[in-house]
Amino acid sequence: METAVLAGGCFWCTEAVFQRVDGVEKVISGYTGGTIKNPAYREITTGRTGHAEAIMIEYNSDIITFKELLDIFFVTHDPTTLNQQGADRGTQYRSAIFYVNDEQRKIAEEMILNLGKEKVFKDPIVTQVDKYEAFYNAEHYHQDYYNQNSNQGYCQFVINPKLDKLQATFKEKLKKEKQN
């Protein structure tokens, strides 16, 4: 098993996306990239701790590569808005890749460079590439949020379009039970 740590706005969104990807064994919502140990959600939402809402992914690299995870990451969130995803605003909603080794750093930096050269996005990519230091699990009520609350308004209006995009763009990468 390998580990990837990604921040793409609200962790409910990124968790729901990557739970559906074949080769992903586990997705945990949490906090990373900040200055205090064991932060709580109420602290994160102030934006003063420096943490991002993020997910830790455990994946089987024989089934899906880190680069393929990043392909999905860049398609299912907006990497061009600084400290924002949709209506969610603040440094805790920034786009970031927290690399766990030099190989991941190189892949992430190269991908961002290539996406920029290819002008895949209208605006410049602002995704940060930072060294992974520590990850703190979010509170239990944040874990598996979409699967337990899919009828909620936020899930319907914010997460469902991301899942539709995932389905349309990466159907062959989805777990068989998660395909429409």
User: Is position 13 annotated as part of the catalytic site?
Assistant: no
Q: Which residue type occupies 52?
A: A
The number of angstroms, rounded, from the C-alpha of 128 to the middle of its chain's C-alpha atoms is 12
From the candidates 4, 5, 7, 10, which is the catalytic residue? 10
Residue 31 forms beta bridges with which residues? 53, 136
Alpha helices in 22-159 (DSSP H): 41-44, 66-75, 102-117, 145-149, 153-154
Pair of tokens at residue 150: 């899919």
Distance CA 142, CA 30 (A): 8
Q: Give the number of other CB atoms < 10 A from CB of residue 84.
A: 17
Q: How many residues are given for the chain?
A: 180
Catalytic residues: 10
